[in-house]
Amino acid sequence: MSSGAWELVFMLVILKIPIVYLGLVVWYAIRAEPEPGVDPSEYSTWRPWRKPDRPRREGPHGTRDGAGVQRGRRDDARRARVAP
């Protein structure tokens, strides 16, 4: 057989084995019946792990007070215009 034919056989047959296996596992899991005598409330509630929140970045693009400096200047200018 030429190399092109072997590549075709590999793609059409060998790479389908994991897909067939996955299909059989899913089929078996769907058909499986729950174990008798097992109380579902005995199991703990599973929650996915969550990364802790990171502190805010310091620096010119993420100071701890947020945009308070720019907002403060804008508010001061607005108050100066509105004040009698």
pLDDT, tens digit (0-9, with 9 covering 90-100), for 26-78: 999 999 887 777 666 666 677 788 888 887 666 676 555 554 445 556 666 66
The C-alpha atoms of residue 79 and residue 71 are separated, in whole angstroms, by: 12
In a domain, 66, yes or no: no
Q: pTM of whole model > 0.75?
A: no
In a domain, 45, yes or no: no
In a domain, 20, yes or no: yes
pLDDT at 3: 78
In a domain, 42, yes or no: no
Three-state DSSP string of 23-51: HHHHHHHHHCCCCCCCCHHHCCCCCCCCC
In a domain, 6, yes or no: yes
The C-alpha atoms of residue 62 and residue 55 are separated, in whole angstroms, by: 10
pLDDT at 68: 47
Q: Say if residues 64 and 56 touch (Cβ distance below 8 Å).
A: yes
pLDDT at 31: 92
Residue ranges making up the domain that contains 26: 1-34
Q: Is residue 59 helix, strand or coil?
A: coil
In a domain, 5, yes or no: yes
pLDDT at 64: 54
DSSP E strand boundaries for the chain: none
Is pLDDT above 90 for 82?
no
Give me the number of domains the chain comprises.
1
Query: What is the 8-class DSSP label of residue 39?
Result: -
pLDDT at 4: 86
Q: Is residue 43 helix, strand or coil?
A: coil
